[in-house]
Amino acid sequence: MDFDVVIRRLAADLEAAKIRYALIGGFAMGLRGAQRATVDLDFILMLEDLEKAHLILHGLGYERVFHSENVSHYLSPDRSWGRIDILHAFRGPTLGMLKRAEKLPVLDGVLLPVVQIEDIIGLKVQAAVNAPERSARDWADIRMILEMAAGHPRAVDWELIADYLAIFNLQAKLPELRNWHGQAR
């Protein structure tokens, strides 16, 4: 994927259409300081804006290859445009993610809304639960995020992380996550 071209074009089109969205996934992790290789772009956007986003993506040559109540996946036949995954925001936790997102510099002259590290962790917890075959990688990502956050001046919102863990009955993991953060300090 040519991230420069795709991000510049897609961000401009989403902003022009007044779509409420934020960057999530590996690219968001990198912008928050936890570098991880990624080959696609992941967004969260308001469910009620999905049809407008679909028309934009279709106009850019993307085909929707999967759609459910919660997510949509788009793929371009042109490898330089790659894959875009969209999480639909319509429940309390995902709506909160959009509300907390802040614009960060992504490319020269391009600011995108990016979810907070706690929200990335919440999404990683969900991914680990939903796809046990990749859970080791998701928990390693969570550890990397927390270790990176230990050197950041902004305090981690442990209450929000506890809320995300509670959704999946994983409250017992909170001390381990706090320990990963504490060890890095």
pLDDT above 70: residue 184: no
Q: Domain coordinates of the chain in residue numbers?
A: 3-115, 118-184
Q: How far is CA 43 from the centre of its chain?
A: 6
Percent of the chain with pLDDT over 70: 98
Structure tokens at 156: 């981690």
- DSSP SS3 for 90: coil
Q: Rounded to two decimals, what is the model's pTM?
A: 0.92
Q: How far apart are CA 162 and CA 179, in angstroms?
A: 14
Q: What is the pLDDT of residues 22-68, one digit of tens each?
A: 999 888 988 887 777 677 899 999 999 999 999 999 999 999 999 99
Question: What residues contact residue 182 under an 8 Å CB cut-off, 6+ apart?
Answer: 150
**CATH architecture, domain 3-115:** 2-Layer Sandwich (3.30)
Question: What is the pLDDT at residue 120?
Answer: 95
Say if strands 41-46 and 71-75 run parallel, antiparallel, or are unpaired.
unpaired
